[in-house]
Chains A and B, each alone.
Chain A
Amino acid sequence: MIPVLLILIPLLSGLVTFFLKDEKAAKSWSLLASVITLAVVFSGLFIYNHNNETTFDTEWLPNLGSRFSLALDGMGKMLTLLTAISFPVVFASTYKNSYKQSGSFYGLMLLTQAGLMGVFLASDALLFYFFWELALIPVYFLCSIWGGEKRIAVTFKFFIYTFIGSLLMLAGILFLYFQTADHSFAIKSLYNLHLSAKSQNTVFWLFFIAFAIKMPIFPLHTWQPDTYEQSPTAVTMILSGVMVKMGIFALIRWLIPIFPEAVANFSTVIIIFSIIGMIYASQIAIQQDDIKRLIAYSSIAHIGLMCAAIFAQNKIGLEGVMIQMFNHGINVIGLWIVADVIEQQLGTRKLSELGGLAQKAPTLAILLVVLSLANIALPLTNSFVGEFLMFIGLFQYNIWAAAIAGVSIILAAVYTLNMIQKIFYGNTVSLTDNAVDAKNNVQWILIVLVVVVIVLGVYPQPLINLTKDTVNTFFVNR
């Protein structure tokens, strides 16, 4: 029952939110709904965690062989947790921002959450495809209505990109369906498939392109910086914190186990592309003047590393990916919150127009420094564990791949520290003369995030335990 609740709560409360005219009511209502969802996730993880409570299965389309089956397991546990944490954080940190037609804004946000939950919970391929698309539609409206100046064209590009990808995936899903012995979309039937090498090599790409666009992997990343820049920051947090994880999640769950031979054939190509993307994105991030674009490119670099580690095909790398998926979500949301605070208060995102903010906003400065250090994956921050494991995994695969990928860590340090220096240190400029510290709600949220960063950096075991089953079964089956 838990998985159904996780989808229904945001879905229904989202629909209700559309009819709330009062801005305050819409905000409080959606915050409340997202906190309830979080509570349900926790209860699913720690209290009602028996099999019959965390899975749900009922008839949906008997003629088509598709069932409405959901399961809260392994990797899904961690990502539902990440989704459930992100939304209250986003709502709380943007509580003071005001949006036109706020009822529709928060309604669409909650619908996005429902879609995301569905993606992470679905254990039926057609259902998975449904939620994959449903998570996209509200985001399209969110970015196009509340985004920046160039929002319409940019969001449209984003939509077309992902839509092409998901349609290719649909063709792939259909093909697999007719290959299964019992004509079913169930994930178990797909895992039991034995496809010929030829069809594996074709259908693999249908799936991979869909996921690569979502992550995004070089050279399919071009939608991403523009979209992150033009979207309202609350949406950007969800996009980069949670939505890109859809791609990685889908890679691990829906691609690698089904096409083992194709993965072995193409892993080198994909790792090369991932590494090129990492270096390229880091390089561009260094030259950025816009905070949002800088974080966007840094996100491409991090995702590239995760993708490379997945295709390195070893246990330790995969463990690193699992941990990093969660941690990257937390860190990047923190960074976006700071970017949003600066933009809301000073009206600019340009590094060249900022400076000396630490004198005016000391708390914000300290919190951002911690988050930035986590972004560079310094020891004692949460990212360190994940990135370290991923590099070991990559190292086991090929020493050169690991060495070249390692350059991106140095580059990450360059652009991240550069960003901190330009925003917070040096002398104040005219714009930052009258700046004040962040508001209370933002401070508290950031403090919570920083605590999570440090705790998971010192003691990452809970995360490893959460996804242990997935990693183990993954390598037992193969």
Chain B
Amino acid sequence: MPIQYYIILSLALFCIGIVGVLVRRNVIIVFMCIELMLNAVNLLLVAFSKMHHGIAYLTDKTTTTGSDAQLFVFFIMVVAAAEVSVGLAIIVMMYRNTHSVDVNFLNRLKN
């Protein structure tokens, strides 16, 4: 399958994520959209990893090219998990004070 398909698919997922972050009002949903963005990146990285490995394999059968991107994916997962734990804690803290998870609440700061 050509690499373009992967690029288009993950860019599409990424854009869905961005649009979701910008238009949704529920913090949990916004949060999920950010995760979607990260996972789009993961998909793309894996695809590129495979591609670069394939190119390098043609000349050198023992190449490890491309493994770094797969490692990167694990790093993204780990960091995303850390981020989620902090983020959920913040959301819980806010919910305790306001009994709501609506982003519109944020506008109050401007005054």
A and B touch in the complex (CB under 8 A): no
Q: Measuring CB to CB, which residues of chain B are less than 8 angstroms from any residue of chain A?
A: none
